[in-house]
């Protein structure tokens, strides 16, 4: 039997099994129906799955997992498909499991300040439901109108407010998870500190490799009495970066502290007319929130401080509409940059804040070396960079050059004491970069963790953690500082 025939036989077997569990319209297997699922937000990687399943209950998810376990068919979970690292990229011999139909807010408890939601609920929908109670869900990825809470858990997503309010992992109380074998487990607790090992910490950010999140209980916070945003313009990126450190050194933790460079400022301005100073080399957006008095006190302090740090202009949003406009420019920076060039590639390194000027200089040098423009947008408060490389996939070789450029940026982040991904995840995209960040014993430990949850390796295999073999091959191509990272492994 040829491999294509074998695949067809398996597909038929899978689809038959799925039709016992789901109504016919919740099982997709024809090429045109599969097409919308061929990629996530990283569209450079595309692949069709064997089939797509769209369960609408936890029991159906369990039955699907039991079926796939019995048939030894790998499963790739998918939320809203906004991920930027190819985490939800289908496997051609696997099932794509969409959690999009599980989209109910099951319970919102204003007294306990918690919301119990299904995984397909959109991030922003939680805050909207909480609004009448004066509460909100703090982690706010820029994709929050679309991305699902299940995807947020799987990526440990952050947002512009995470310096002060934490990442997804800091705002979860409990998860209901279906294992690779179809078992339902409860991680965390409605009470503080669940007994035993903190599996919720492990599950958060595990990119669908350890379990399927079928329910999340999240913490809600009271909406601050007031939020005010300052916009500071600088004629030098390094000076803007230094100002970030100064604000924190002054003992102030802003609710958000974002930076954009010239190209990003101009793109955003052209796109949403946020009123940004287009001649500036960099702008800082600094949001301060809290009680009315507290915000007034901090606005004065930060204003003085920014001017002392060499800001050429500091503006305070006059009203809520202007505050929203300032943020609209930042939150639409990716699509705005997308208008400048046929394609863009978003990077996600994190570095210690004080290394910002030198890493930005390095990115500029690399931009010249590769002949590709870069726009920089970043969560400056926590050192999370999003360089956006502009390219044209239709020009032969340009995607490959872009990826090489991107890999060099990530290596620069690791060399500066940082990491290859702050919030977008490893997925398929950064699988080789993982070999530069971790040595063989750590990777082996990751695989052992994976095996404890998923002994047959059926959950999103091939993503997030590279095999030692892959790294040995990759290492042979990229010898770092002339040292071999995997000296013990056979090379071929």
Ligand X SMILES: Cc1cc2nc3c(=O)[nH]c(=O)nc-3n(C[C@H](O)[C@H](O)[C@H](O)COP(=O)(O)OP(=O)(O)OC[C@H]3O[C@@H](n4cnc5c(N)ncnc54)[C@H](O)[C@@H]3O)c2cc1C
- Judged by CB under 6 A, the chain residues 222 through 281 that form the site for ligand X are none
Q: Check binding of 94 to ligand X (CB under 6 A).
A: no
Beta-sheet pairing, 114-117 with 105-109: antiparallel
3-class SS at 249? Answer: helix
Closest CB to ligand X among 155 and 454?
Answer: 155
Q: Check binding of 125 to ligand X (CB under 6 A).
A: no
The number of beta carbons lying within 10 Å of the beta carbon of residue 21 is 19
* Residues between 405 and 434 with contacts to ligand X, criterion CB under 6 A: 423-424, 427
Among 44, 58, 194, 238, binds other proteins (CB under 8 A): 194
Among 12, 441, 478, 487, binds other proteins (CB under 8 A): 441
40 binds, among ligand X, other proteins, none (CB under 5 to 8 A by kind): ligand X
The number of beta carbons lying within 10 Å of the beta carbon of residue 194 is 16
Query: Taking a C-beta distance cutoff of 8 angstroms, is the pair 462, 85 a contact?
Result: no
Q: Check binding of 217 to ligand X (CB under 6 A).
A: no
DSSP labels, 50-92: SEEE---SHHHHHHHHHHHHHHT--EEEESSS--SSSTT---T
As given in the structure block, the two tokens for residue 97 are: 């499991």
Q: Check binding of 470 to other proteins (CB under 8 A).
A: no
Among 77, 141, 150, 158, binds other proteins (CB under 8 A): 158
Q: Check binding of 158 to ligand X (CB under 6 A).
A: yes
Q: How far is the CB of 172 from ligand X (least distance, A)?
A: 13
Helix pair angle (237-249, 292-308), 10° resolution: 140
Query: Taking a C-beta distance cutoff of 8 angstroms, is the pair 1, 28 a contact?
Result: no
DSSP labels, 307-365: HHTT-SEEEE-SSHHHHHHHHHHHHTHHHHHHTTSSEEEE---B--GGGHHHHHHHHHH
Closest CB to ligand X among 309 and 390?
Answer: 390
As given in the structure block, the two tokens for residue 85 are: 């690292």
Q: Cα(422)–Cα(385) distance, rounded to whole angstroms? A: 8
Q: Cα(220)–Cα(222) distance, rounded to whole angstroms? A: 7
* Residues between 64 and 93 with contacts to other proteins, criterion CB under 8 A: none
* Residues between 351 and 390 with contacts to ligand X, criterion CB under 6 A: none
Q: How far is the CB of 118 from ligand X (least distance, A)?
A: 9
Query: Judged by CB under 8 A, which stretch of 27-35, 121-129, 327-335, 416-424 contacts other proteins?
Result: 416-424
Q: How far is the CB of 389 from ligand X (least distance, A)?
A: 15
Give CB contacts under 8 A, 24+ apart, made by 359-363.
Answer: 359/385, 359/412, 359/413, 359/416, 360/237, 360/238, 360/241, 360/261, 362/409, 362/412, 363/387, 363/409, 363/412
Beta strands in 3-61 (DSSP E): 27-28, 51-53
Query: Judged by CB under 6 A, which stretch of 62-70, 146-154, 249-257, 313-321 contacts ligand X?
Result: 146-154
Q: Check binding of 40 to ligand X (CB under 6 A).
A: yes
Q: How far is the CB of 6 from other proteins (least distance, A)?
A: 32
376 binds, among other proteins, ligand X, none (CB under 5 to 8 A by kind): none
* Residues between 359 and 398 with contacts to other proteins, criterion CB under 8 A: 379, 381-384
Closest CB to other proteins among 225 and 365?
Answer: 225
* Residues between 337 and 356 with contacts to other proteins, criterion CB under 8 A: 350-354
**Interacting residues with ligand X (CB under 6 A):** 40-41, 76-84, 87-88, 99, 119, 141-143, 147-148, 150-152, 154-155, 157-159, 207-208, 212-213, 334, 423-424, 427, 460
């Amino acid at each position: 039997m040829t491999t294509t025939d074998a695949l067809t036989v398996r597909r038929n077997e899978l689809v038959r099994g799925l039709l016992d569990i789901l109504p016919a319209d919740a099982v997709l297997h024809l090429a045109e129906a599969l097409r919308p699922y061929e990629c996530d937000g990283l569209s450079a990687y595309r692949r069709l799955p064997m089939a797509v399943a769209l369960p609408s209950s936890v029991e159906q998810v369990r039955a699907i997992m039991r079926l796939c376990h019995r048939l030894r068919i790998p499963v790739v979970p998918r939320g809203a498909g906004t991920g930027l690292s190819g985490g939800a990229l289908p496997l051609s011999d696997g099932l794509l499991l969409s959690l999009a139909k599980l989209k109910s807010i099951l319970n919102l408890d204003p007294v306990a300040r918690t919301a119990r939601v299904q995984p397909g609920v959109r991030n922003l929908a939680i805050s909207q439901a909480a609004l009448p109670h004066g509460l909100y869900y703090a982690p706010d990825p820029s994709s929050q109108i679309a991305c699902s809470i299940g995807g947020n858990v799987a990526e440990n997503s952050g947002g512009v407010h995470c310096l002060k309010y934490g990442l997804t992992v800091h705002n979860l109380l409990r998860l209901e998870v279906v294992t690779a074998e179809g078992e339902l487990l409860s991680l965390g607790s409605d009470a503080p500190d669940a007994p035993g090992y903190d599996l919720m910490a492990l599950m958060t950010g595990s990119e669908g490799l350890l379990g399927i999140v079928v329910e999340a209980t999240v913490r809600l916070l009271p909406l601050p009495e007031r939020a005010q945003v300052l916009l500071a313009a600088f004629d030098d990126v390094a000076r803007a970066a230094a100002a970030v450190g100064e604000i924190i050194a002054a003992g102030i933790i802003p609710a958000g502290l974002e930076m954009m460079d010239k190209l990003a400022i101009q793109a955003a301005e052209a796109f949403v007319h946020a009123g940004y100073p287009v001649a500036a080399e960099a702008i800082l957006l600094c949001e301060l929130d809290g009680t009315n008095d507290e915000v007034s006190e901090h606005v004065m302090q930060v204003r003085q401080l920014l001017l002392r740090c060499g800001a050429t202009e500091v503006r305070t949003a006059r009203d809520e509409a202007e505050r929203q406009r300032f943020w609209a420019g930042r939150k639409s920076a990716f699509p705005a940059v997308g208008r400048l060039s046929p394609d863009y590639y978003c990077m996600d390194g994190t570095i210690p804040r004080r290394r910002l000027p030198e890493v930005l200089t390095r990115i500029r040098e690399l931009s010249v070396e590769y002949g590709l423009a870069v726009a920089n947008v970043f969560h400056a408060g926590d050192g999370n960079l999003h360089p956006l490389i502009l390219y044209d996939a239709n020009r032969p070789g340009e995607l490959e050059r872009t990826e090489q450029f991107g890999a060099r940026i990530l290596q620069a982040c690791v060399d500066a004491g940082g990491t290859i991904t702050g919030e977008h995840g490893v997925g398929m995209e950064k699988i080789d970069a993982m070999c530069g960040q971790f040595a063989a014993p750590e990777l082996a430990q990751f695989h052992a963790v994976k095996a404890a949850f998923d002994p047959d390796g059926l959950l999103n295999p091939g993503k997030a953690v590279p095999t030692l073999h892959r790294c040995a091959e990759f290492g042979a191509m990229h010898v770092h500082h002339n040292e071999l990272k995997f000296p013990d492994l056979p090379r071929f």
